[in-house]
C-alpha cells in the first residue's frame, strides 16, 4: 500500500498516457485511474486506487462474510459468499480483490488523498469468484493467469512516481505485507535433455540457453541446478525446462526418424475379426454408424427395461457433456434407434445400419480410485486397484433394418426387411466366422415377444435377434417396423476357433420329402426343426420351413407347419426302407414331444 496526499484532483492525464490507453481499448477517466491502468499495461501488475477520505481505519484483505453486499464500479449490487476474497476497512467492504473496486471508495474529481493498492492473489480464488459473479475485468484476467509475486512493490513505486510527477502531492506512507517467497530450484540432467529432445545439445549450450530466460544456473557434473525466475511460474518440472531449451535452441534441429518396422507385427486376432465383421455387414448393404456412448434413464424406460434389468445399472458420469445423457450406455440399441429416427425424419426410410462399440456395466463392488503421481507409471498394486475401480467394458455389435431390403423395379419384386433378412444376416456372418449357431425363443426388452430369438454358439448365449417392440418404436417416434440384433462381440470371438472344419460335399444321391404337421399355435418352429434333426440323425442333411398356415379348419389355437427334409448318407444310397424308418422316428418324436399330427 502507498498513501499519497496533496494530489491535484483536476490534474490532466498526459497525452502519451491517454494515447496508449486508447490504443489498448481503454477509456481515459482521471489521472489516478489512468495511472493504475497504464502501469498495469506497462508491467502486467493490476493496481487499484482508493479515496483515502472514504476509508475508515486500516485496509486489510480477508474473505467475505456470507451475505455481505458491495456495489461495484459498474453500478451492480453484488452479493458475496464466504469463498470470495475482498479488501475492506474496519467497517465495510471496499472492493472485490483482484476483480473490481467498490463505488463507496471510488476516486472522484475531489479526491486529493489516494491509497494505491498492489497485490498478488491466488489465481484459483480470483477465477472462482469472477466466474461465479459473471464479472470479468482486465485485472482478473491477469490474476487468473498468474503474475510475478515480486512485482507488486515495483508496480506501486512506479505508479506513485507517475502520480506525483503529473498530479503533484507527495508520498506520506507505504506498507508491505507479504508471505515469504520460496525460490524454486530444479535439477536438470544433461543426458535427459538429449534423450527427450533427440538432439545432441552440448552441455554449455544447455546452460547458456537457460540463462537467456533469466534463470540463475549452476553447472554440476551431470547437469545443472536452475533457480527459476519469479516471473516464470509456468516452469515447474524438468520437462518444462527441456521445452525452453529446445524452443530457444531451435526446433529445426529435430530431424525426422522413421520408426523401425518389426517383423511379425500387425493386427491382433480380435482386430482382424472385428474388421471382418464390418466387411460382411457392409457387403450386405448395411451402413456403419458411430454413436456417442451416452444414454439417459429415459432410454431405459423407452426400451421397456424392467426395474430389475441389469442394463439399468449404468455408470453415471461426474461431468457429462450433456446433462440430459449423464450415463454410459449399457447396450447399443438406444443409440441405433435414435439414429434411425433421425434418418426417417429426413426422408431416408429404406436402410440398415450397424455399430461396433463399447458398452459399460457398473461393478457390484466399487472401490475408491487411489491417487497417483505424474511422471512415472503407478505400481502394480495401485494399477490393480485402478483396474478394479473401472467399469466393465465390452464390445457389442448391433444392427437395425427397416423399409425395403430390395426395392421394386421392372426386373425384380420388392423385398421388405423382416426377421428373415436380419436372421439371414446373422447366418451369413457366423458362417463367415466359421461357427454354427442355434436360435431359441426369448422374451426380453426391447424385443417383440414371440418375434425374438436368443443366439447360441457352443452352448453360450451371445445375443438376441428379432423385431423391436412396436411400443419402443413409438416412444422413439418411429412408425416403421424395425428388425435387428445385438450380440456380445467379445463373447462371440472367445467362442471362435482358430482352425476351420470343412465338411465334404456329399457324393451319394439324396432324397427330398415334405412333412406337414399340425401343432399348437404356441409351439416354436425352431424347436420342431431341432427335434427333427435329433430324431432323424446324421441322415437328415437339412430341414427348412417353407410354409406356415392357420385357419378355422385346423381348429382353435392350431397351426400348420410344412418342412422340407433332405436325406443323404455319407457311404451309401438310402433305400426306401431307410427313409421309412427315419420318417417314423421323426414323426414319433414330434408326436411325443409336441403332440404333432401329420397332415395328409
Is 259 a residue whose pLDDT tops 80? no
Superfamily designation of domain 269-495 = Bira Bifunctional Protein; Domain 2 (3.30.930.10)
Query: Which string of DSSP letters, residue by residue, matches 415-462?
Result: EE--HHHHHHHHHHHHHHTT---EEEE---TTEEEEEEEEEEETTEEE
CATH of domain 185-253: 3.30.56.10
45: cell is 501488475
Write down the H helix ranges in 213-368: 238-249, 269-283, 297-302, 333-345
Confidence of residue 263 (pLDDT cuts 50, 70, 90): confident
Q: What is the pLDDT of residue 369?
A: 66
Q: Which residues contact 439 (CB under 8 A, 6 or more apart)?
A: 423, 453, 454, 455, 456, 465, 526
84: cell is 470470495
Query: What are the extents of the domains in the chain?
Result: 2-174, 185-253, 269-495, 511-598
State pLDDT tens for residues 447-459: 998 889 999 998 8
Is 390 a residue whose pLDDT tops 90? no
Best CA proximity match to 571, nearest among 512, 507, 505: 507
Q: What fold does the segment set 511-598 form as a domain? A: Alpha-Beta Plaits (3.30.70)
- Rounded distance between C-alpha atoms, residue 462 and residue 457, angstroms: 7
| Of residues 177 and 342, more confidently modeled | 342
Which CATH number among 3.20.20.70, 3.90.280.10, 1.20.1250.20, 3.50.40.10 corresponds to the domain 2-174?
3.50.40.10
Best CA proximity match to 400, nearest among 476, 330, 498: 476
CA 434 to chain centre: 35
State pLDDT tens for residues 202-230: 999 999 999 999 999 999 989 999 999 98
Q: Which residues contact 323 (CB under 8 A, 6 or more apart)?
A: none
Domain 185-253 shares a fold with domain 269-495: no
- Rounded distance between C-alpha atoms, residue 30 and residue 13, angstroms: 7
Mean pLDDT taken over the chain: 89
Write down the H helix ranges in 68-133: 123-133
Amino acid at each position: 500500500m502507498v498513501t499519497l496526499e496533496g494530489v491535484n484532483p483536476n490534474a490532466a492525464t498526459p497525452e502519451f498516457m491517454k494515447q496508449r490507453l486508447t490504443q489498448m481499448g481503454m477509456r481515459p477517466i482521471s489521472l489516478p485511474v489512468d495511472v493504475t491502468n497504464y502501469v498495469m499495461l506497462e508491467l502486467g501488475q493490476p493496481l487499484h486506487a482508493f479515496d483515502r477520505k472514504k476509508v475508515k481505519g486500516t485496509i486489510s484483505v480477508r474473505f467475505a462474510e456470507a451475505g455481505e453486499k458491495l456495489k461495484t464500479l459498474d453500478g451492480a449490487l453484488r452479493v458475496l459468499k464466504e469463498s470470495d476474497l475482498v479488501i475492506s476497512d474496519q467497517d465495510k467492504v471496499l472492493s472485490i480483490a483482484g476483480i473490481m473496486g467498490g463505488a463507496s471508495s471510488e476516486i472522484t474529481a475531489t479526491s486529493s488523498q489516494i491509497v494505491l493498492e498492489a497485490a498478488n492473489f491466488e489465481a484459483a480464488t480470483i477465477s472462482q469468484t469472477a466466474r461465479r459473479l459473471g464479472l470479468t475485468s482486465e485485472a482478473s484476467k491477469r490474476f487468473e493467469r498468474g503474475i510475478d509475486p515480486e512485482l507488486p512493490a515495483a508496480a506501486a513505486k512506479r505508479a506513485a512516481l507517475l502520480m506525483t510527477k503529473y498530479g503533484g502531492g507527495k508520498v506520506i506512507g507505504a506498507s508491505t505485507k507479504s508471505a515469504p517467497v520460496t525460490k524454486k530450484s530444479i535439477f536438470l540432467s544433461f543426458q535427459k535433455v538429449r534423450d527427450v529432445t533427440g538432439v545432441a545439445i552440448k552441455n554449455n549450450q544447455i546452460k547458456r540457453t537457460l540463462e537467456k530466460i533469466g534463470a540463475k544456473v549452476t553447472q554440476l557434473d551431470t547437469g545443472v541446478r536452475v533457480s527459476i525466475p519469479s516471473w516464470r511460474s509456468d516452469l515447474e518440472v524438468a520437462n518444462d525446462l527441456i521445452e525452453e531449451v529446445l524452443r530457444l535452441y531451435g526446433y529445426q534441429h529435430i530431424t525426422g526418424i522413421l520408426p523401425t518396422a518389426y517383423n511379425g507385427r500387425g493386427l491382433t486376432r480380435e482386430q482382424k475379426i472385428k474388421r471382418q465383421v464390418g466387411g460382411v455387414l457392409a457387403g450386405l448393404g448395411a451402413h456403419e454408424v458411430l454413436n456417442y456412448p451416452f444414454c439417459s434413464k429415459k432410454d431405459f424406460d423407452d426400451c421397456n427395461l424392467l426395474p430389475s434389468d441389469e442394463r439399468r445399472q449404468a455408470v453415471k458420469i461426474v461431468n457429462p457433456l450433456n446433462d440430459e445423457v449423464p450415463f454410459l450406455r449399457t447396450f447399443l440399441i438406444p443409440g441405433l434407434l435414435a439414429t434411425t429416427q433421425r434418418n426417417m425424419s429426413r426422408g431416408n426410410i429404406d436402410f440398415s445400419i450397424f455399430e461396433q462399440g463399447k458398452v459399460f456395466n457398473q461393478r457390484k463392488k466399487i472401490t475408491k480410485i487411489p491417487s497417483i503421481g505424474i511422471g512415472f507409471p503407478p505400481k502394480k498394486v495401485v494399477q490393480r486397484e485402478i483396474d478394479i475401480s473401472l467399469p466393465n467394458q465390452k464390445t457389442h455389435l448391433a444392427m437395425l433394418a427397416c423399409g425395403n431390403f430390395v426395392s421394386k423395379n421392372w426386373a425384380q419384386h420388392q423385398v421388405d426387411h423382416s426377421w428373415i433378412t436380419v436372421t439371414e444376416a446373422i447366418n451369413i456372418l457366423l458362417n463367415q466366422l466359421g461357427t454354427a449357431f442355434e436360435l431359441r425363443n426369448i422374451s426380453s426388452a426391447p424385443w417383440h415377444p414371440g418375434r425374438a430369438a436368443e443366439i447360441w454358439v457352443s452352448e453360450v448365449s451371445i445375443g438376441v435377434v428379432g423385431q423391436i417392440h412396436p411400443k419402443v418404436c413409438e416412444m422413439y417416434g418411429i412408425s416403421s417396423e424395425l428388425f435387428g440384433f445385438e450380440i456380445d462381440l467379445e463373447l462371440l470371438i472367445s467362442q471362435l476357433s482358430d482352425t476351420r472344419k470343412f465338411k465334404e460335399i456329399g457324393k451319394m444321391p439324396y432324397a427330398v420329402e415334405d412333412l406337414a404337421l399340425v401343432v399348437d399355435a404356441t409351439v416354436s418352429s425352431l424347436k420342431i426343426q431341432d427335434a427333427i434333426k435329433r430324431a432323424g440323425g446324421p441322415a437328415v442333411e437339412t430341414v427348412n420351413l417353407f410354409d406356415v398356415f392357420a385357419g378355422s379348419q385346423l381348429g382353435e389355437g392350431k397351426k400348420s407347419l410344412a418342412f422340407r427334409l433332405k436325406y443323404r448318407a455319407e457311404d451309401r444310397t438310402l433305400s426306401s426302407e431307410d427313409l421309412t424308418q427315419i420318417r417314423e422316428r421323426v414323426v414319433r418324436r414330434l408326436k411325443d414331444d409336441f403332440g404333432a399330427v401329420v397332415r395328409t
